[in-house]
Amino acid sequence: MYNLAKLVSMVSRRTFRAEGHVFAVTPERIAIAEGVRAAVAMAPMLVAALLLARPEIALGAVAAFWNCLCDPQGETTARLKAMGMFTVLGAIVMPLSAYAASWGYIASLATLFVLVFLCGLTRSYSASLGPMPTQAGLIASLAVVIGIALARPLAGALELGGYFLLGSAWTILFCVFLCPIPFRQSGNLMLSTIFGRLEIMAGFLQALDSLPGTDVAGWDVFDTVHRRGVRMSIERGRALVALDTCNGSRLGAYIDTAGRIFSALIAFGHSRRLSRVALDAGSRDLLQGLQQVLEALGNHALLDRPLPDAVVEQANALLRQSAGHEEAEARSVTFAASAIVRLAEGGAVPDAGSKEPPAAAARSSYAIDPVVWRHALRVATATVVAFAMGTWLNVTLAYWGALAAIIVTQPISANAWLRVLERASGSLVGGLIAAILLATLPGPGAMLLAILPLAAAAIAARLVSYGLFVVFLCPMFMLVSDFIHPTGGLIAARFINEVIGAIVGVAASFVLWPDRGSDVLNAAISAAISANMRFVSATLRLDGGSAAKLDHLQRDAGLASTRLEAARERMLLEGRWRSASLEHLRDVIVALRSVCGAAAVLEVLREGDPDAFNRQRADGYDEMTAQVLQALASRTRWQLPKALPDEGAEGDLGQAIRNFVSAFNAYVSNG
């Protein structure tokens, strides 16, 4: 475990810049045990198909693989609900579509449209027919396409449904009850990634300080790339805490500690960015010491044993070294080291964001949201068009194009481009692997032996990178198809169908009820401004005992800024890279990060309760936020009504607010 954690930490340090981009890679989410379990779940159906010389039994193995993809992990109830929903949906739609397809081509197209549309109602972002699983509906729509491709009379269709039901039900029994997998390894890898990225962040701070106040581009990278990378890894950790019923409490304490260290590094960086004096030797030693502590934390499997004594001693040494120093840098390191010491003592500061909010009461109506049914219609239309194009062009295995269209079609048009690029890169490599295997495998038995490790690798990589997932999924799916229904020219068929599916999916995303990019972007800007300014106002108002609430608000501010960055990059991917407004929007994002950093300094350096002056400033910033949001809606400039204080940390915040207003006005003037 130690070596694996160290390897994942090393890889994550080199991939954190990809966070939020097209080819994002999250190595800490590799699931080796889950992959092996999926292969074992698939094996009985594949072996039965081979021994009985009934290739169609392999559909049960496909159902087993799909149900492993539906498995949300976490509590048994949630897993049974998601996997059971997929089992029921698949066992209904596959035989129904296979039987309808036997009635002819027109019946096939009509059935394909209706069933994919109905499955689409269950895979929306919000529940439309009560609480329903997203992944189950998506994969059930794939089962519809498979059924259309395997036209059968009623008896044959029911037989296919039986194989599907058997494989899927067996997977539930095996994965949920017979072979549950603890989250300890996932938690250890997650912590290795988070502390490794914090260590990189601290090291980047040291490199930047060689020329204080002059490396503007470098500080922008710190405020965007590094803060985004750490924030997103911390939030993935929080999501894992919510799922892990065994190690969640201890893992949550580590995540909360990482969040406090993150705040300290933001405060340290903000102070140094505004300085015109090189970092003194004492503060540099403190930062190097903190970096060494973070490196040690990243290299240990922290959930397997108590916090290493050497790490605790290093943290205590930092506290002794920083004692009596009033500089912002020293106090930031004290803030971080204290969080580590409290963790070792079992008194880590609880974070409001560590726990999932209670589920909403069953107030969800059964009315279908327009966003839901529009996307369901969009996907159903794209599926039918792709299948019709493939059959009209007489393409081998035309249903592959329909499968690709389902996956490529997205509610937000720019996301379709992301999915096409990921699928294209993954399919290229996966197609080469498939070509080699198809040319060299001597028979069905060897093919079966190749399918299982490919399936294991696909499940293990599904959360690491979608492109990497496709690398293994592509040859696995091609081998299964050849196992069930041997056909020549699979490589060419895969390429042509992928092109058809990509073209249709992208066209559907852009043509059929496309979301207006400007509305999506304005919503993201408004959310980012509101979240960051809420954190500013709360920092000015709250006393030192409200650390949990401040952590939660800072988390929301960081996530909102990250979402705004992602929205901007999606628009760039649409071809708007020459847009002057998007260049100015980047300055707005950097300015908001700086505002958040200035507020973090106030939090880290807080002494005593807030005075009336700070409460008055908080009220003023609340009023300012409302006015800025109104100016954004009307695309008009906004001016600060009066000068802001310019003393100490308060002056840093005031200057950050001025910079934000300047960047905001430049953006709305060029919109």
Q: Are residues 227 and 193 in the same domain?
A: yes
Question: Per residue in 520-554, is it b (16+ CB within 10 Å) or e — as a string?
Answer: bbbebbbbbbbbbbbbbbbbbbbeeebbeebbbbb
pLDDT at 92: 96
Q: How far from 643 is each of 76, 292, 599, 666, CA to CA, in Å?
A: 57, 42, 18, 20
Mean of pLDDT values over 42-63: 95
Q: Are residues 9 and 158 in the same domain?
A: yes
Residue showing tokens 């036209």: 151
User: Token pair of 200, please?
Assistant: 């990189």
Mean of pLDDT values over 201-221: 76
The 10s digit of each residue's pLDDT in 356-384 is: 443 333 444 456 667 778 889 999 999 99
Q: Are residues 349 and 200 in the same domain?
A: yes
- With respect to residue 368, please indicate whether it lies within any of the assigned structural domains: no
Q: What is the CATH number of the domain that holds 325?
A: 1.20.58
User: Token pair of 40, please?
Assistant: 């074992």
Lowest mean pLDDT across 230-239, 420-429, 534-543, 602-611: 602-611
The 10s digit of each residue's pLDDT in 377-432 is: 999 999 999 999 999 999 989 999 999 999 988 877 767 777 788 888 889 899 99
**Nearest partner of 598 among 664, 531, 544, 651, judged by Cα:** 651
Q: Are residues 229 and 294 in the same domain?
A: yes
Mean of pLDDT values over 322-334: 87
pLDDT at 367: 61
- With respect to residue 637, please indicate whether it lies within any of the assigned structural domains: yes
Q: Are residues 235 and 345 in the same domain?
A: yes
pLDDT at 212: 52
Q: Are residues 112 and 255 in the same domain?
A: no
pLDDT band at 129 (very low <50, low <70, confident <90, very high): very low
Q: Are residues 525 and 502 in the same domain?
A: no
What angle separates helix 547-573 from helix 580-604, to the nearest 10 degrees? 170
Is residue 472 over pLDDT 80?
Answer: yes
Q: What's the rounded Cα separation, in Å, for the pair 294 and 277?
A: 26
pLDDT at 229: 84
Lowest mean pLDDT across 41-50, 66-75, 362-371: 362-371
Is residue 132 over pLDDT 80?
Answer: no
Question: Of 8-22, 86-100, 405-419, 455-469, which has the strongest mean pLDDT?
Answer: 86-100
Lowest mean pLDDT across 111-115, 261-265, 589-593: 589-593
Q: What is the pTM of this model?
A: 0.80
Q: Are residues 200 and 339 in the same domain?
A: yes
pLDDT at 128: 35
Q: What's the rounded Cα separation, in Å, for the pair 158 and 180?
A: 31
- Which of 478, 511, 544 is the endpoint of a domain? 511
**Nearest partner of 431 among 500, 483, 503, 490, judged by Cα:** 490
Burial bucket for residue 272 (CB in 10 Å: 0-12, 13-18, 19+): buried
- With respect to residue 250, please indicate whether it lies within any of the assigned structural domains: yes
Q: Are the beta carbons of 46 and 61 closer than 8 angstroms?
A: yes
Q: Are residues 148 and 90 in the same domain?
A: yes
Burial bucket for residue 356 (CB in 10 Å: 0-12, 13-18, 19+): exposed
Q: How many helices (H) and strands (E) does the chain have?
A: 25, 0
Is residue 655 over pLDDT 90?
Answer: no
The DSSP code sequence of 332-376 is HHHHHHHHHHHHHTT-PPP-GGGSPPPPPPS---SPPPHHHHHHH
Mean of pLDDT values over 264-269: 88
pLDDT at 452: 96
Burial bucket for residue 630 (CB in 10 Å: 0-12, 13-18, 19+): exposed
Residue 244 belongs to what domain range?
184-353
Mean of pLDDT values over 177-181: 89
pLDDT band at 577 (very low <50, low <70, confident <90, very high): very low
Is residue 209 over pLDDT 60?
Answer: yes
Q: Are the beta carbons of 184 and 304 closer than 8 angstroms?
A: yes
Q: Are residues 174 and 261 in the same domain?
A: no
Longest dimension (CA), the chain: 84
pLDDT at 646: 43
The 10s digit of each residue's pLDDT in 214-263 is: 667 788 888 778 888 888 888 888 878 777 767 778 888 898 899 889 98
Number of domain units in the chain: 3
